[in-house]
């Protein structure tokens, strides 16, 4: 369960959050966040923090960022009313279409934003890590666009599982380095990317893929992804004259959700729900529902909720969707859960698969398995609140999931 925070404290923390006082000068979101890294990394993070402060909100940087988002990423992404599914579910369902963003998901907003920042900071090369390969593809594309060499560390096991994305990264000009140490998946790849970065933090920029990691990354990634919620809020008001009753997004590391939630945090009338990967069930190792089943601890340089066993060992996770399969979650989510501003729920593998089918058949949109978790949350909310208006962040498209869908929805032997 999430860390209980006494209610007067929760009210104060929420007021601080709305007033923009988080992260504080120590990089904390209330009790969460911070910078739990080896001494050797501190100068690099401090340099990055100074760079973020100097450039991120400067008008020339914002103009560059906005131009790339409009002319290359394809923003603003559409807001779509899901007419047939709304009728079926007995609610008004609106979709923020991040699946229409270049490279097929929200990840590109962060990748091009950080690549632009890297260039401003004088970096000569970019390093990134990737698990399922989606962040690697977005990083490779952003680097190609700006003419920056890109090295992507990827666990050897993941490279086998995600061979098409390895090919995409290479076509986009990135060097993909197999990581054969540690668990040979995302966790080991992150360690390698960090090692590479510390070796030369002036010429190298580490492009982190979600709202996780040590300060200032959770803040930086949220700010770059906040365009999702800003656009969606204005689009909802323009289309309906009102805000939605509820906003729902899926939560892996927590970047599409933080990006969608940020503009709505101060709208007290809008309920906000994050959907985590419920996998096969509530048992240890059967899911990736970090807020629902985790405890506070340190992972990848930040103090947040994480899935760990009794001895504090990081727990193996499971989800049908590779993008949600991470044992940690961003520190701002841990705070939002603790103060009760966002409610975190789970959707199972099967519920997500069912929603892939529903959205595809009823609206002609094949959603990513990650995004289908948010849809499953929306369906449940619609059942409990007939007639309500629901805004879902549809974080990505499902073409990348075809191998999994062949083995499940399209397999007559499945179940
Ligand atoms: C990577 C990914 C996610 C999960 O990452 P967050 O940082 O939690 O947003 C969700 N949806 C899609 C389509 C993804 O590619």
Please give the domain boundaries of the chain with CATH numbers for all domains: 27-69+107-222 (3.40.50.1100), 74-105+225-407 (3.40.50.1100)
Phi, psi for residue 179 in degrees, rounded to 5:
-105, 120
Residue 415 — pLDDT band, cuts 50, 70, 90? low
Report, as an integer, the average pLDDT of 355-380.
Answer: 98
Report, as an integer, the average pLDDT of 161-167.
Answer: 91
pLDDT over 90 percentage in the chain: 92
Is residue 175 annotated as a catalytic residue, yes or no? no
The verdict on the CB of residue 141 being under 6 Å from ligand 1 is: no
**Beta strand pairing call for 79-81 and 92-97:** antiparallel
First to last CA, the chain: 31
119 forms bridges with which residues in the sheet? none
**Beta strand pairing call for 125-130 and 92-97:** unpaired
Integer angstrom CA distances of residue 272 from 212, 213, 313:
20, 23, 31
Identify the DSSP state of 396.
B
pLDDT at 151 over 80: yes
Query: How far is the C-alpha of 188 from the C-alpha of 190, rounded, in Å?
Result: 5
Among residues 49, 92, 96, 129, which one is catalytic? Answer: 129
> Is residue 271 within 8 Å of residue 339, measured between CB atoms?
no
Helix (H), strand (E) at residue 68: helix 59-68
| Atom number, ligand 1, closest to the C-alpha of residue 255 | 7
Helix (H), strand (E) at residue 196: helix 186-199
Helix (H), strand (E) at residue 86: helix 83-89
Burial class (CB in 10 A: 0-12, 13-18, 19+), 190: buried
Mutate to test the pocket of ligand 1, among 165, 252, 300 (most ligand atoms within 8 A of CB): 252
The mean pLDDT of the chain is: 96
pLDDT at 3 over 80: no
Report, as an integer, the average pLDDT of 187-203.
Answer: 93
- The dihedral built from the CA positions of residue 208, 205, 300 and 132, taken in this order, carries a sign that is positive
Ligand 1, atom 1: nearest CA belongs to which residue? 323
Residue 414 — pLDDT band, cuts 50, 70, 90? confident
Indicate the angle between helix axes 217-225 and 107-120, nearest 10 degrees: 120
Lowest mean pLDDT among 312-321, 349-358, 364-373: 312-321
Is residue 129 annotated as a catalytic residue, yes or no? yes
Report, as an integer, the average pLDDT of 134-155.
Answer: 98
The verdict on the CB of residue 107 being under 6 Å from ligand 1 is: yes
Residue 8 — pLDDT band, cuts 50, 70, 90? confident
Phi, psi for residue 387 in degrees, rounded to 5:
85, -5
Tell me what pLDDT residue 1 has. Answer: 40
């Amino acid at each position: 369960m999430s860390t209980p925070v006494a209610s007067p404290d929760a009210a104060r923390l929420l007021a601080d959050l709305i007033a923009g006082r988080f992260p504080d000068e120590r990089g904390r979101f209330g009790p969460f966040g911070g910078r739990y890294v080896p001494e050797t990394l501190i100068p690099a993070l401090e340099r990055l923090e100074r760079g973020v402060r100097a450039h991120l909100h400067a008008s020339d940087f914002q103009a560059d960022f906005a131009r790339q988002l409009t002319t290359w990423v394809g923003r603003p992404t559409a807001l779509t009313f899901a007419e047939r599914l709304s009728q079926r579910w007995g609610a008004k369902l609106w979709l923020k279409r991040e699946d229409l963003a270049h490279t097929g998901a929200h990840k590109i907003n962060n990748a091009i934003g950080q690549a632009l920042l890297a260039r401003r900071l004088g970096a000569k090369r970019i390093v990134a890590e990737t698990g399922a390969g989606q962040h690697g593809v977005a990083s490779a594309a952003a680097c190609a666009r700006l003419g920056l060499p890109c090295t992507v560390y990827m666990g050897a096991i993941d490279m086998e599982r995600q061979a098409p994305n390895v090919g995409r990264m290479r076509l986009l000009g990135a060097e993909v380095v197999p990581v054969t140490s540690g668990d040979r998946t995302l966790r080991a790849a992150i360690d390698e990317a960090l090692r590479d970065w510390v070796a030369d933090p002036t010429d190298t920029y580490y492009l982190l893929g979600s709202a996780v990691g040590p300060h200032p990354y959770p803040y930086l990634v949220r700010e770059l992804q906040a365009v999702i919620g800003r656009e969606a809020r204005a689009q909802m008001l323009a289309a309906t004259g009102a805000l939605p009753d509820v906003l729902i997004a899926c939560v892996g590391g927590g970047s599409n959700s933080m990006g969608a939630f940020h503009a709505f945090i101060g709208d007290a009338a809008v309920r906000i729900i994050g959907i985590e990967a419920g996998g096969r069930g509530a048992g240890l190792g059967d899911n990736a529902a970090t807020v629902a089943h985790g405890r506070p601890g340190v992972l990848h340089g930040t103090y947040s909720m994480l899935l760990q066993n009794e001895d504090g060992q990081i727990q193996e996770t499971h989800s049908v969707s590779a993008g949600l399969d991470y044992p940690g979650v961003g520190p701002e989510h841990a705070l939002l859960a603790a103060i009760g501003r966002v409610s975190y729920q789970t959707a199972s593998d099967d519920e997500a698969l069912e929603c892939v089918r529903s959205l595809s058949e009823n609206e002609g949109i094949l959603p990513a398995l990650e995004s289908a978790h948010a849809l499953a949350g929306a369906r449940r909310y619609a059942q409990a609140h007939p007639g309500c208006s629901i805004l879902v962040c549809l974080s990505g498209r499902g073409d990348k999931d075809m191998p999994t869908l062949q083995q499940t929805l399209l397999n007559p032997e499945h179940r």
